[in-house]
Amino acid sequence: MRVLVSVDMEGVAGVVDPQDISPGNAEYERNRGYMTDEASAAVRGVLAHDPAAEVVVCDAHAQFRNLIPDRLEQGCTLLRGSPRRLAMMTGIERGVDAVCFVGYHGRAGTPDSVLAHTISGGVIANVRCDGRELGELGLNAALASFHGAVPVLATGDDTLAAEAASVVPGITTVMVKRAVANRAAEGLHPRESCRRIEAAAQAALAHPEVVHAPVFQGPVDLEVDVLRPSMTERALGIPGVERRAPLTLGFTAADFGAAYDLIEVFTVLAAAP
């Protein structure tokens, strides 16, 4: 089997603050090690389920260059670097059976959720597909199912676990910390979080049939809310894109894959100075 492990950083045990996840800080250097360890735990869980599994670990935070290659569990490949198409999910297009989300976080606007945001905190306030609000977990789970893969595992704080259970009923979740506020949490020891992630990945892969990921068939109505009116201007140059409200870009995408691509493009254009 082929498994994609998409690894973000905000939902890693111990991480609570923007400095914890931003290159150039001492805390970041330590936390990228923890991030790598949680990714390794997922890899071990996958290989315990299927020793012959082909595992691709996809670095999915910031510029996608956080995981430490020689600290990562052997028996997988590491996909890193940007820019790249499909961003947090690159590799999904090559035919994947299952996806594990490690170190994920709550969607923009979630109260008392560690470092909650969607795609880019200073740019995107909300993303809706066919009227349904989705954060990174939901969007990436829907992309997985669009490509025929089952999202089986999500790890992060308790708010991420609750979001995952609601957007992807049946998905296995691991709560590595309890959010106390946007920048505060009570967490497990890093080794304990890894122990749980490894066990959960192995168990989750045994029962993909219980997972019900969001499925979007046919054209998708996409709406993206940005934080300032000026952030809509450049995207309006794309044929078919309309401004439906002062802060809302709208587009009817041919399918979910096209909608996913366009969200990324909207974000880049909105963030440009």
Between 87 and 211, CB nearer to Zn ion: 87
Total interface residues for Zn ion by CB under 5 A: 4
Q: How far is residue 210 from each of residues 20, 100, 177, 242, measured CA to CA in Å?
A: 35, 15, 25, 38
Q: Which of residues 188-217 bind Zn ion (CB under 5 A)?
A: none
Rounded to an integer, what distance in angstroms lies between the CA atom of residue 256 and that of residue 271? 23
- By the rule CB under 5 A, 61 interacts with Zn ion: yes
Strand pairing class (77-79; 54-59) = parallel
Handedness of CA 265, 7, 93, 131 (dihedral sign): negative
Complex with Zn ion: residue 187 or 208, whichever CB lies closer? 187
CA 125 to chain centre: 16
Minimum Å gap between C-beta 241 and Zn ion is 26
What residues from 10 to 29 belong to the interface with Zn ion (CB under 5 A)?
Answer: 10
x/- map, 75-94, Zn ion, by CB under 5 A = --------------------
DSSP string, 37-74: HHHHHHHHHHHHH-TT-EEEEEE-STTT--S-GGGSPS
Closest CA to 205 of 52, 3, 12: 3
Instruction: Tell me how far, at minimum, the Cβ of 61 lies from Zn ion, in Å.
Output: 4
Q: Which window, 3-11, 82-90, 209-217, 226-234, contacts Zn ion (CB under 5 A)?
A: 3-11
Of 57-65, 137-145, 184-192, 198-206: span binding Zn ion (CB under 5 A): 57-65
Q: At 109, list the tokens.
A: 């606007």
What minimum distance in Å lies between the beta carbon of 136 and Zn ion? 8
Q: Which is nearer to Zn ion, 8 or 198 (CB)?
A: 8
Residue closer to Zn ion (CB basis): 160 or 168: 160
Amino acid residing at 138:
G
The letter for the amino acid at 4 is: L
CB-nearer residue toward Zn ion: 9 or 142: 9
Of 65 and 207, which CB lies nearer to Zn ion in the complex structure? Answer: 65
In degrees rounded to 5, what are phi and psi of residue 96?
Answer: -130, 145
Beta carbon of residue 254, minimum distance to Zn ion (angstroms, whole number):
28
Residues at the site binding Zn ion, with contacts judged by CB under 5 A = 8-10, 61
